[in-house]
A and B are shown apart, each in its own frame.
Chain A
Amino acid sequence: MPDLLEVKNIVLDYGAVRALDDVSIGVGEDEIVAVLGANGAGKTSLLRAVSGLHRPTSGTILFKNQPLTDIPAFELAGRGVAYVPEGRRVFGTLSVKENLMLGMYGVRRARQARQLAAQEERVYSLFPILKERRNQLAGTLSGGEQQMLAIGRALVSSPELLLLDEPSLGLAPIIVNEIFAMIQKIHREEKVAILIVEQNARKALKIASRGYILELGKVVLEGSASDLSTNPKVRAAYLGSAAGSDAP
């Protein structure tokens, strides 16, 4: 049973609109879990609920068996949950270095000072291009580099769970491949559990061990990634006609 993150029966409303309706998912310590679904199915809402940006109307979210629902959003980063938002959202007029430094902001001060340099180096070794650009303003980076920086910014806090929201959005195929390879590498080498929300269902299922399908705010299907990618319904609804012929 997945034990790192347990989302139990959460309901989330925006005004009169119900975004999540009795959703339960789990992420184990050694897993990449993908959440798939159409636009407006509630994928991003789910991540926002986990990260505390929106309070669920009901239900519980446990992280390492501790409830997250009452913790302010800004404390989450210090507790081991890091979020890479959709559309990257790097701090454009701050330098790459400052962006990475801010990634450690939620971590306890003493630890922060000790580890800042080491963490920075760790990110640079994963993404060497960022080292070259470390004094450049983040807004001047290309889309792919910004995505790397956004992931790097999340990694410096040494999270145990990484939430990735549409990491491939608006990126060139070659960069998308690179980013997905990097996600796998991070998962393997840094021992970080990953919850990924992706429009690109094919790519997401390829790196994930398990997956959930959301439709209109409800989980309609869950299973191992291989089961999902062979499930005829999933193929028809999310993988399109190209699913059979794997070459895109």
Chain B
Amino acid sequence: MTAIDYTQEIPVVEGRPTASQIEEIVSIPMDTRPGKIWKILITITSLMLLAGTVALGYTFYYGIGMWGNNNPVGWGFDIVNFVFWVGIGHAGTLISAILFLLRQRWRTGIARFAEAMTIFAVMCAGLFPALHTGRFWLDGYLFPYPNQNHLWVNFTSPLLWDVFAVSTYFTVSLIFWYVGLIPDLASLRDRTANKLKKSLYSIFSLGWRHSTRHWQHYEKVYVILAGFATPLVLSVHTIVSFDFAVSVIPGWHTTIFPPYFVAGAVFSGFAMVQNVLIFVRQAFNLKHIITLNHLEKMNQVMIVVGMIVGYAYAMEFFTAWYSGNDFEMFTFINRALGPYAWAYWIMISCNVLSPQFFWFKKLRRSIVFMFIIGVFVNIGMWFERFVIIVTSLSRDFLPSSWGMYTPTIYDFGVLIFSFGLFFTLILLFVKTLPVVSIAEVKASIPGAQPSHKGGH
């Protein structure tokens, strides 16, 4: 293997493809009929969706009593999954907005895909609190609107902050993604021969003409949106963590939660982006654009945030001891040694230990190995939420009100539904829209920008 100089910016694309070649490569999934792998994958994900729909149907018809939630563990799989999926989404905005503002050009190849993943993950996340309200056809009351009961929502409740945070996050991610898509849709419109595709691309590209008078505003808006999305993404998981931190349950009532949750979100999100991108670049031959260097960069980010998460785990124990609060101390001892200790140690080994392998360059650049670590990180991050929610609720203050939590088959069914939904949407996305921003990649190839020689 050749040595890599980490002080140099890595190239956005490998080799020297021309602008039209890039368009060609990115358009292949949209121009060709679906291949065998894609068909097998979508069969699996649709079956997951179907199986999950049965669980969802039972939940819908008989209510959330079908789930394992009980008293005292009123929050079970539903909130675990909600926090998990919102976290997955965060990597997308981090890549597309924060790395954009930090002028990390290597993000170009993966930003579009990560943004799409954000949108799909937030959709999956939104499913759970919406279901958890019990009668979710009345979820419209979550929003403050002038109603005949003259009631307003409680603006001081963290659960309402969640409604605003998640819906804002979804909307802003969607428009950010769509604004990025407009020029690409225009390029696709001008190259397709298919009449139906042409009219669809025409509608959604809104009549984009690649005009400099438009590019000028467009670039400005892109920076503004990135500027908005950056604090937004930090606020969303902060507010999600307030659901816990604002309460008085031992193990939840700590100020470390916002940064700890944001780091965890980025951690799991990067693992998910990395996992899915490995599939996409293999299946659609995008290895020049989504390069090994990009995946390596992502693995490096994962070591960093993984260690922040590990630090947070340690700090929680320290704070529990330092607080001198009996309940707080008991909660953490109970996490590591109590009835749910197995979940705790899965979390520690997947989140803290497994990314340490990425210190070795060979492992960091091995596709198979990084894929396995990515899966481990996602499992670990799911268990982190399980540990936080279930251990704290199952044993809080009075031993007389302790209780264990056992999920039912319907809990697993709805979880499978969310995975089915996520991967089905991903598969449909990679087949119908450009997974890489064509305009941004064209602008990044060598010789794309004026050399300051001509015209003077």
A, B: real partners: no
